[in-house]
Amino acid sequence: MNRVKPGETARTPWIVGVSGASGTPYAAAVLRALLAAGESVDLVVSRASRLTVLDETGIAFRDAHWQDDLREWLARGADGKPDAYAVDLAGVRHWSAGDLAAGPSSGSYPAKGMLIVPASTACVAGVALGLSKDLLQRAASVTLKEGRKLVVAVREAPLNGQTLRHLVTLDDAGATVVPTSPAFYQGATHIQDLVDFVAGRILDAAGVEHDLYRRWKGELGGGSGPT
């Protein structure tokens, strides 16, 4: 459940930023898990990411119809099958990426922290350099300056020296960098299992409870075959 801690309001959300990198199933899995855990979510979908969502899912994410579009997106499995999940969007608030007067643009706006999933190299650079060119980058800068948890799920291969230096800058600033690298010891038998492992590690870094994957227990052979 969404536990209210000292200094938080009844609705103190996680800000989720979706940038233009490939990997929209990771974002969908994180969003579903946050809502299932009873967390509130403030969603920022960048302009570039809308092209990726369209390319990877066939869904056009539109500000004027964001609830319908988000519901269709989150209901879709990583294999592309529609209506794989039932979702309740009551805990979600959407902010346009171009709205620099939005709540998350200010440090006085209550938030638990921010997850950027997936994070493109352009997004990583913008946050590391403090560019704040859109609401996603501005919200990330605010998260860092307020000392809140920032998790950056970078999705790129290979990584060049410039991006690696930007990631080190983010780490030095207090962010947690989570590469979108699935593991196989949990006995994955479906593409969704691999996506959920990455989503689970992102939520682990944020301190959000979930049951997205089977954890390592120090016993060899536990991942062989279906779970």
pLDDT value at 158 more than 50: yes
Quote the distance between the C-alpha of residue 196 and its chain's center.
Answer: 12
pLDDT value at 172 more than 50: yes
pLDDT value at 7 more than 70: no
**CA pair distance 41, 34, nearest whole angstrom:** 7
- pTM listed for this prediction: 0.93
| Average pLDDT over every residue of 44-54 | 98
Instruction: Quickly state the pLDDT bin for 66 (edges 50, 70, 90).
Output: very high
pLDDT value at 35 more than 80: yes
| Average pLDDT over every residue of 30-42 | 98
**CA pair distance 102, 2, nearest whole angstrom:** 23
pLDDT for 105 equals 98
pLDDT value at 30 more than 70: yes
Average pLDDT of every residue of the chain? 94
Sign of the alpha-carbon torsion through 8, 12, 18, 24: positive
Contact 75, 48 (CB under 8 A): no
* Secondary structure, 3-state, 118-144: EECHHHHHHHHHCCCCCHHHHHHHHHH
Question: What's the helix, strand, coil split of the chain in %, to 5?
Answer: 40, 15, 45
pLDDT digits 0-9 by tens, 74-113: 999 999 999 999 999 999 999 999 999 999 999 999 999 9
pLDDT for 219 equals 82
pLDDT for 223 equals 63
pLDDT for 187 equals 85
The residue type found at 67 is Q
Which strands, in side-by-side order, build the sheet including 14-18? 92-96, 41-45, 14-18, 113-119, 149-154, 176-177
- Burial tier of 7 (Cβ tally within 10 Å: 0-12, 13-18, 19+): exposed
